[in-house]
Amino acid sequence: MTRVLVTNDDGIDAPGLHALARAAASHGVDVTIAAPERQSSGASASIIAGEEEGRIAMERRTLRGLEELPAFAVRGGPGLIALIAAHGAFGDPFDVVLSGVNHGANVGRAILHSGTVGAALTGGLNGAWGLAVSLDVGMRPEAFEWEVAAATALETVPFLMSLEKGSVVNLNVPNAPQHRGVREAPLAPFGIVQTTLSERDEKHIRLAVEDLPNVPDPGTDAALLAEGYATLTGIEPVSHRVVGYRS
């Protein structure tokens, strides 16, 4: 039976995580949930952990509506969770790492900073198929279509598993009862929001997130998502560029 790790960066109590776990379990796979004990957005693939006497702290949880699934709250980010899972922390290594459903889109090159994407990339780096899933809720959502995003993710898994093991894809789903279908798309140069410095003094800095003022490049993940499509982008866990250095 296919073993699936469901994780996220929004924390063990996040509704998107629960929706993704329910959708995975309904497909008859062997599901384990392991997620940060608290919000870890922006953690990228960090493996910093909260330790007790040199050991990574975690505890078994029972999640409402998911009582039959093993669930663990880990004092660390999603990248760390995917890493320790690959080394047997939750039993045999997993075939698939499902990360999400994230509260907010992860598009453009800004996915570098995403803990949701970081977990999928870490899973891929360690030989699993990785899928990062995000819901484009915008800044002031009136409703959250977690189940739509989760269902779209599970529909994508057979395609993912047809690729070479270790492949990783990033999926973004519009926050609507229906979308226009799934389209493969390249990363936009930027995301759909930007981080700005909103406050600075001698002892503190405050960051704020706001919408980008410009229209995304046509055909990119940000543009197609805004047009109502779910977007799918293949990403590499680690790659290199030849720069032509000569000593």
Domain ranges of the chain: 3-235
50 within 8 A of 57, measured Cβ to Cβ: yes
Query: In this structure, which CATH number among 3.40.1210.10, 3.30.70.3400, 3.40.50.970, 3.40.640.10 belongs to the domain 3-235?
Result: 3.40.1210.10
* Band (47; pLDDT cuts 50, 70, 90): low
- Please state, in angstroms and rounded to a whole number, the distance separating the CA atoms of residues 118 and 215: 26
Local structure of 215: helix, strand or coil: coil
Predicted pLDDT of residue 191: 64
- Average pLDDT over every residue of 38-64: 76
Mean pLDDT of the chain: 90
**118 — phi, psi (to 5°)?**
-60, -40
Which residues, listed in sequence order, are joined to residue 133 by a DSSP beta bridge?
Answer: 171
Q: How far is residue 206 from each of residues 37, 200, 203, 209, measured CA to CA in Å?
A: 24, 6, 10, 10
Helices marked H in 52-114: 78-86
Checking if the pLDDT of 53 tops 80, the result is no
Predicted pLDDT of residue 51: 63
Checking if the pLDDT of 61 tops 90, the result is yes
Tell me the residue ranges of DSSP E strands in the chain.
Answer: 3-7, 30-36, 51-52, 55-56, 58-61, 71-74, 96-103, 129-136, 168-174, 182-184, 193-200, 205-211, 230-235
* Band (237; pLDDT cuts 50, 70, 90): confident
Predicted pLDDT of residue 208: 62
3 within 8 A of 92, measured Cβ to Cβ: yes
Predicted pLDDT of residue 190: 74
Each residue's pLDDT tens digit, 19-30: 999 999 999 999
70 within 8 A of 100, measured Cβ to Cβ: no
DSSP per-residue letters across 121-150:
HHHHHTTSEEEEEEEE--SS-S---HHHHH
Predicted pLDDT of residue 212: 56
- Average pLDDT over every residue of 117-124: 96
- Please state, in angstroms and rounded to a whole number, the distance separating the CA atoms of residues 32 and 74: 13
* Band (204; pLDDT cuts 50, 70, 90): low
* Band (62; pLDDT cuts 50, 70, 90): very high
Checking if the pLDDT of 93 tops 60, the result is yes
Taking the alpha carbons at both ends of the chain, their separation in whole angstroms is 52
Each residue's pLDDT tens digit, 224-233: 999 999 999 9
What's the Rg (C-alpha) of the chain? 18
Provide the token pair at 170: 């990033």
* Model-wide pTM > 0.85: yes
